Structure formats: structure tokens, C-alpha cells
A = this chain, B = another copy of it.
Amino acid sequence: MQICEEAKLIETNKLSDGIFEMYIKTRVASLAKPGQFVMVYPKDSATLLPRPISICEVSDGELRLVYRVQGKGTKEFSLYKEGEMVKILGPLGNGFPVEEGKGKRSILIGGGIGVPPILELAKALKGEDVTILAGYRNSDMFLDEDFKKQAPLEVATEDGSVGVKGNVMDVIREKNLKCDVIFACGPMPMLRAIKKYAEENGVTAYISLEERMACGVGACLGCVCKTTHKDSHSHVNNARVCTEGPVFEASEVEI
């Protein structure tokens, strides 16, 4: 089930340079799973398309969304005040297959603004054999404290100011991390590297993809990605990221 409603903004904070969070009270919270996302509708009337934002955390009927100010829409979000009503649609997409992490060694990888959805996943896999691996630009990190409460955290920073200098793959190599399954969200080069690593190491990787979206519900066919199998909608190996994704088994997609 999916809900589209005006939801109340309970709290909003700046987490680091250009990174903000909002907590919103919504019926979507009770339905949400890790790796799913919501559409947030900007109010300015020249800005018509909703913005896809991952679910970072769910608790007490509230959703926590963490986002980077990118353009017009996210800029507008960052100016919202507590108490304001925000129109959202969700939960959308398939989410991470949490059960695949049960009883196995997992690495949860977030890179850049792909970090947020990893938190709710880490909570869902709490108690399992999990390592979290987060990649940031520099020491201006976010959500790292939240991660530490869930599982051991390894960090990569581009400038080397914290953790391993480089990217998340450098951490895996340097720390010689081993796993049966990877769950990841982040920039395309990182996802490509993970796909390759998974193939070479016989590991299963679930990666969360980004694509431009208009509807978010599978109607417009705007957000497709190439798949190795026939997609369920058009049978042309073009799965909809918003519906069949955003999480795909890495071996299924051509990225």
C-alpha cells in the first residue's frame, strides 16, 4: 500500500555542510521498509515534479529523511520550518531484501548522499554479522554516530581526514573485509566497483540505483535501467527503478 498525504514536519536540522534532515509524522512510516523511498513534493509552483528521497530511519510513526541541497527542490526543503505541512508519497520501491542478510556476513555500504538508507537497514539487521562502511568527502560526516550504535563502522574519506583515504573499495581492500552479501547505495562509480567486486569474489550484492523520476509509481516509464532479464512491465529488459527497484541484485543490471 502507498499513501499520498500532507504530513507534518516535526523537526528539521542541518547535519553538515549542505546536508539536512527532516522528521515527518506520516502514515507512510508504518509501511516503510529499509531501502524504500518517498516522493517529496516542492511547493513552489514552477517546480512540479516530486523529489525522490530515501527513507533514512523509521520510528514512532515518523520518517527521518536526510538529504543534500542539490537544486531548487531540496533548497526549498531546507528552508521549511517545524510545523509546516509537507506533501509526500510513499513508501515507494522494493527496498533492500533484509532477509538475505540474516545469518550471513554482510557489509552495508553507503557513499556520499547514498549513506542515509543504510541506517534503517542497519537497524533491521541489528544483531547480525554486519559491518557498515561509509564514504564521505571529508571529516564533515553525517549519520556516523547513528551508525556506530548499530554496528561497527568503517569510514573512507576522499581527503583522508578520517578513516581510510580513498573510497569504500579501498577500505575493503585495506582492511581485508570479507562478506557473503553486500547492500549498497551511492554514486554510480561506486556501484559499478561493487558490482565488479561482487562478481569477482562470488558475493551477492544488492545495490540501490538512482534515476530521474516523474511519477515514482511506475506509470511514466521515465526511470528505467537496463536489466539482464525481461522486466515485468514492458518485457524489454528495462526495469523501472521506482517500482522494480531502486534495489537490484547487481548481476541483474547493466550499469
List A residues at the B interface (Cβ < 8 Å): 44-47
Contact = CB atoms under 8 A, between A and B. Distances in A.
Nearest to A72: B45
7 contacts: A44-B44, A44-B45, A44-B46, A45-B45, A45-B46, A45-B47, A46-B46
A49 to B, nearest CB: 14
A44 B48 CA distance: 13
Nearest to A46: B45
A47 B46 CA distance: 9
A47 B44 CA distance: 10
Contacts of A44: 44-46
Contacts of A47: 45
Contacts of A45: 44-47
A76 to B, nearest CB: 10
Nearest to A47: B45
A46 B43 CA distance: 11
A44 B43 CA distance: 9
A74 to B, nearest CB: 16
The 7 closest A-B pairs by CB, nearest first: A45-B46, A46-B46, A44-B45, A44-B44, A45-B45, A45-B47, A44-B46
A71 to B, nearest CB: 13
A45 B44 CA distance: 7
A44 B47 CA distance: 10
A45 B46 CA distance: 6
A25 B44 CA distance: 26
Nearest to A48: B46
A72 to B, nearest CB: 9
A147 B45 CA distance: 40
A45 B45 CA distance: 6
A65 to B, nearest CB: 24
A215 to B, nearest CB: 21
A129 to B, nearest CB: 51
Nearest to A43: B44
A44 to B, nearest CB: 5
A42 to B, nearest CB: 10
